[in-house]
Amino acid sequence: MVIVFRDHFDLPTQWNTSDSNHGLQVTGDEKLKVLYIGAGQNDADAASIRTNNSIPTEIGLYYFEVLITDAGESGFIGIGFGVHNAFLWKLPGWEPNTFGYHGDDGKKFRSSSITGHVYGPTFTTGDTIGCGINFFNKTAFYTKNGIWLGIAFDEVTPGDYYPMIGLRTRGECVEANFGERPFIFEIESYAKATFKDVEKNKIRSVRL
């Protein structure tokens, strides 16, 4: 979702079936639901997908949500974002210049499949996970069922990022919301507070 100037940019609107690992199947005319159809035996069977468009940094603040319609065998689900040249046979956060929050252990990963850090609660069937990027202060955050979980990543340098999800075990299925319907999280309130802080900082800079 974009807060301002929505009509001026090509925003992510659906999953890109041409930019997906073969272990995933996109279903539905709107191309918002993703089902894992891979072997699901080990980490090498992880599969990710990116959206049709990247996130324009000019919008300042971007947010999307993912409903876990089925956690499958292990709930090994990663939600996040990353650059276009990141490989799609790993979960978001395991590849360089990718960021992810994983449902099986609640850890956050940034460009490493080895070093994960405790971040939030685990998530499973029926949960809705939101992911937001604040380009003003270079941070990224997540929400669970409408509750803000805090900053997950800082020093998120501007880049050509795409929303991403990754699945790894049989039966896992998720459905994205890129702003076509209302979000669970009160993103408008968060946006107003964010833009208010930006304006305050501008005024402070001018006075200095």
Residue 207: per-residue pLDDT? 42
Distances (CA, A) of 37 to 84, 85, 87: 23, 23, 18
Q: Shortest CA distance to 110 belongs to which of 84, 137, 132, 78?
A: 78
Structural domain count, the chain: 1
Over pLDDT 90: what percentage of the chain? Answer: 87
Specify the pTM: 0.92
Q: Are 180 and 60 in contact (CB under 8 A)?
A: no
Distance between CA atoms of 138 and 152, rounded to whole angstroms?
Answer: 11
Residue 1: per-residue pLDDT? 44
Residue 159 burial (CB count, 10 A):
14
Give bridge partners of residue 161 from the DSSP assignment.
83
Is residue 5 predicted with pLDDT exceeding 90? no
Whether 185 is covered by a domain: the verdict is: yes
Q: What are phi and psi of 71, to 5 degrees?
A: -80, -5
Over residues 166-198, the pLDDT tens digits come to 999 999 999 999 999 999 999 999 999 998 877
Q: Are 36 and 173 in contact (CB under 8 A)?
A: yes
Overall average pLDDT of the 50-70 stretch: 97
Residue 9: per-residue pLDDT? 79
Mean predicted lDDT score pLDDT of the chain: 92
Domain of 203, CATH number, reads 2.60.120.920
Question: Could you tell me the residue range of the domain that residue 38 belongs to?
Answer: 6-207
Over residues 82-119, the pLDDT tens digits come to 999 999 999 999 999 999 999 999 999 999 998 899 99
Whether 1 is covered by a domain: the verdict is: no
Which sign, positive or negative, has the C-alpha torsion 193, 197, 202, 203? positive
